[in-house]
Structure 1
Amino acid sequence: MNRPPRSRVWDISPTVSPSAPVFPGDEPFSLEWTARLGPGCPVNLSAVRFSPHVGAHADAPLHYANDGASIDAVGLAPYLGPCRVIHALDCGALIDIAHLQHAAANLPPRVLVRTRHRALTVWTEDFAAFAPTTVSWLAVQGVTLIGLDTPSIDPASSKTLDSHAQLLQHELRVLENLVLDDVPEGDYELIALPLKLQGACASPVRAVLREL
């Protein structure tokens, strides 16, 4: 019996571990065992503590607006569906519209951008972010979710978070800290559902791309 070939899946989530880089002052990942398998105990049980911004994650509007929705109140539709990966390897500190226009024809509702600035195990402020004009331009193209492979869509030194403000203005959703190193430019299905964490400003995601 001939079976149809399986679609290839790219795991675009970094490993969450104690060495995962975090913003200074943010809570790193830690794990402790609360029970261990042995005589009188049939299972291993662990407890974890970490910021919801460690690893691949979805920011909730509450992260950048006091009256914004927490992650449990955010709809899931933006995190699931057709997606385009665009390489902006020459973007420098900011991803401008010009870095995306080569792949901007008939954009799907979700756009993920690969840069050369992904931090692996050491925190650095030298990463690429979105220019606010790029965020608003993508919204005008009909995009409902943007993502990238760095810790934030705003520079680490920003105090006004202008690109996050554009998310709020255009009701966009965002994914940060993705791993796009091995993903060719092109169109995929994105699956990156946030956890239903009551009152939280963000959620970890296990983000994957599936070949169309």
Structure 2
Amino acid sequence: MYVRLSYPLEAYVPAWPGTPQLQLEPLMQLSAGDVANTFLLHLHNHIGTHYDAPNHYVKDGLSISELPLEYFIFTCPLRVELPKGERELITAADLAPHREEIAGCDLLLLDTGFSRSRSEDPNKYVSEGPGLSAEAAAWLVEYAPQLRAVAVDFVSLASYRAQDDGNEAHRTLFRGKNGHFICGIEDVDLNQIRNKCVKRVFAMPLWVRGIDSAPVSLLAEVE
């Protein structure tokens, strides 16, 4: 059985404050007598569920189309529940009790429960959300040698109210250590896998050359 962990893109998507929204421009329309329906999509690459490659924060880091394919296929995913409220940061102390499990995973799904705000209070979701602290990012680089990506159920690895710390968290993950870096997957719907055993996760981004990030279709195989 497969479930989708990506939110659909639509006319309004909760996103980092100031991010341009998706615009759909009809080009050909059956209703107007054209032979087919076609659209022009005006799409910011950090809107909705999206995959951040190292080039997002690291000048010489790999772009989304340069990543090895194994960065999109996860065979040892791990979901960890870490309840967080407004502006709360995930710390190294939060992760430490799960050190043994995290050390063997290739995708870490951080389930804070904050995603409920996405539909209930979108403004709170985008501007008052939690984040991954820089110290937690450094902990992952040190103690998660198999980890290729961190997925979060809030709008960005960085909390809007703690941007300096969040920027450093991004840089720390994307720089990595000894050639091993960790990517980020943001605005993920983890409601679909609670109380389920996740066997594999597939991340399928838009393959656009030269960009730092792309919207991604995230699919989980569950039992």
Work out whether the TM-score is over 0.5: yes
Alignment of 1:149-188 (within 5 A): 149-157=153-161, 158-159=163-164, 161-170=167-176, 171-184=181-194, 186-188=197-199
Does 2:112 match 1:141?
no
The one-character-per-residue Cα deviations of 1:29-85 (angstroms, maximum 9, x if unpaired) are: 111210012586321111111211111101122221233222122222122122111
Whether 1:114 aligns to 2:119 is: no
Instruction: Indicate which of 46, 49, 54 corresponds to 2:47.
Output: 54
In 1, Cα distance between equivalents of 2:130 and 2:216: 21
Letter in 1 for 2:164: K
1:187 Cα deviation after fit: 4.1
SS at match of 2:136: helix
Q: CA deviation at 1:91?
A: 6.6
TM-score (norm 1): 0.86
Paired residues of 1:20 and 1:120 also in contact (CA < 8 A): no
Give the match's secondary structure for 1:193: strand
How many percent identity over aligned positions?
20
Q: Is the 8 A contact 2:84 2:114 kept in 1?
A: no
Aligned partner of 2:6 in structure 1 is: 13
**Counterpart Cα distance in 1 of 2:43 and 2:3:** 25
Structure 1 residues 125, 39: closer, same or farther in 2, change over 3 A? closer
**What is the TM-score when the length of structure 2 is the normalising length?**
0.82
Structure 1: distance between partners of 2:217 and 2:42 = 17
Instruction: Identify the residue that residue 4 of structure 1 maps to in structure 2.
Output: none
Q: 1:131 aligns with which of 130, 133, 138?
A: 133
Deviations 1:126-155 (A, max 9, x none): 111112222222232222211101111112
Match of 2:79 in 1: 85
- Counterpart residue identity of residue 129, structure 2: F
**Residue 91 (structure 2) aligned to one of 88, 96, 106:** 96
Query: Which structure 1 residue ranges, 5 or more long, are not aligned?
Result: 1-7
Query: Are positions 1:45 and 2:38 aligned together?
Result: yes
Cα distance in 1 for partners of 2:34, 2:134 equals 54
Deviation at 1:99, TM superposition (A): 2.9
| Structure-2 separation of matches of 1:29 and 1:11 | 20
Provide the C-alpha distance between the structure 1 equivalents of 2:33 and 2:192, rounded to a whole number of angstroms: 46
Distance 1:91 1:36, change over 3 A: closer
Kindly tell me: are residues 29 and 166 of structure 1, through their superposed partners in 2, closer, same or farther at Cα, counting changes over 3 Å? same
Report how many residues are paired: 205
1 CA distance for matches of 2:17 and 2:84? 27
Whole-Å separation in 2 of the counterparts to 1:99 and 1:209: 25
Kindly indicate whether the alpha-carbon contact (under 8 Å) linking 1:90 and 1:99 is maintained by their aligned counterparts in 2.
no
Amino acid at match of 1:99: D
Tell me the CA shift for residue 193 of structure 1: 2.2
Matches within 5 A, 1:22-33: 22-33=15-26
Write the letter of the residue equivalent to 2:113. Answer: R
**1:190 paired residue among 180, 201, 219:** 201
